[in-house]
């Protein structure tokens, strides 16, 4: 099921509306065509349109109506799978590079919302990683070492986690994390993309992304085609390759 087809709604969906977008009804051309209008697609469109590129964004449903509207809205530099695991699988240098990019991403969102005056409830705050059970304590000790290896020097132990319902004691505190209202932020990005000449189309399902004669050709379900110098697939699971990622994903909900 596509996220836009779900009947469930999030807090973000109940408290902020996004601009609507009409379907694509004719063939068009652009420098870059982006498939997907979540935070990845719209952030990319914002950067490209601001750099003077001709940008087209396509989404099979409403703008921002997928997973970004159902996010936890945490902007974190730590990761669910833990840096100790990232180091084990990909090595220390790759883990360090990944950490730097996560920091840069949060910093960039803060910079954009300030510069573009996007009222999205952005705030810096502490994050906490606490053990679910007693024998997780060793995992946290190893994670602290891994965090310091990748360059996260400010992570520290605290004796009490300030979340009464968690029933947790000692935990790791991650300063300078952040939170925001994702749909308010997307609404601001959409405003800026349109200001800079970007074109956005909703209810436009993409059926194929191909390279032909040195250009990207994106064909939509109703027939119209977008030709561009480059195409970016920014969907939750890539639609242009059903093997590389899709077959490795496990469906679950939380």
Q: What is the pLDDT of residues 20-37, one digit of tens each?
A: 999 999 999 999 999 999
Same-domain pairing of 58 and 143: no
Which of 180, 199, 232 corresponds to the end of one domain? 180
Q: Which of 103, 85, 99, 78 is nearest to 150 (CA)?
A: 99
Same-domain pairing of 189 and 65: yes
Q: Which of 235, 221, 252 is nearest to 23 (CA)?
A: 221
Confidence of residue 252 (pLDDT cuts 50, 70, 90): confident
Confidence of residue 5 (pLDDT cuts 50, 70, 90): low
Please tell me the pTM assigned to this model: 0.92
* 253: in domain: no
Which of 163, 180, 197 corresponds to the end of one domain? 180
What are the pLDDT digits (tens) for 205-249?
Answer: 999 999 999 999 999 999 999 999 999 999 988 888 878 788 888
Q: Which of 232, 250, 227, 252 is nearest to 45 (CA)?
A: 232
pLDDT above 80 for 134? no
pLDDT above 90 for 130? no
* 238: in domain: yes
Hey, what are 218's tokens? 């994106």
- Per the structure, how many domains does the chain have? 2
Question: What is the pLDDT at residue 166?
Answer: 63
Give the domain range for residue 86: 74-180
- Matching residue, tokens 């032909």: 212
Question: What is the pLDDT at residue 232?
Answer: 97
* 244: in domain: yes
Average pLDDT in the 150-157 region?
95
pLDDT above 60 for 1? no
Q: Which of 30, 78, 48, 92 is nearest to 193 (CA)?
A: 48
User: Residues of the chain with pLDDT > 70: what percent?
Assistant: 96
């Amino acid at each position: 099921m596509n996220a836009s087809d779900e009947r469930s709604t999030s807090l973000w969906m109940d408290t902020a509306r996004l601009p609507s977008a009409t379907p694509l009804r004719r063939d068009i051309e652009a420098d870059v065509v982006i498939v997907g209008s979540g935070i990845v697609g719209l952030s990319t469109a914002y950067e490209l349109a601001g750099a003077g590129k001709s940008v087209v964004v396509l989404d099979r449903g409403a703008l921002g109506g997928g997973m970004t509207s159902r996010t936890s809205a945490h902007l974190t530099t730590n990761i669910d799978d833990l840096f100790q695991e990232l180091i084990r699988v990909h090595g220390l240098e790759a883990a360090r590079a990944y950490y730097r990019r996560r920091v840069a991403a949060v910093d960039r969102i803060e910079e954009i919302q300030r510069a573009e005056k996007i009222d999205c409830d952005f705030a810096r705050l502490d994050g906490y990683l606490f053990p679910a059970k007693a024998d997780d304590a060793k995992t946290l000790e190893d994670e602290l070492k891994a965090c310091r290896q990748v360059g996260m020097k400010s992570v520290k132990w605290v004796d009490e986690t300030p979340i009464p319902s968690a029933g947790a004691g000692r935990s790791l505190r991650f300063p300078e994390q952040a939170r925001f209202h994702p749909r308010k932020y997307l609404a601001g990005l959409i405003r800026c993309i349109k200001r800079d000449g970007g074109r956005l189309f909703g209810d436009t399902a993409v059926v194929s992304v191909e390279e032909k004669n040195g250009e990207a050709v994106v064909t939509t379900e109703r027939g119209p085609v977008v030709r561009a110098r480059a195409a970016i697939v920014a969907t939750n699971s890539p639609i242009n390759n059903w093997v590389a990622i899709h077959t490795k994903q496990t469906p679950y909900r939380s």
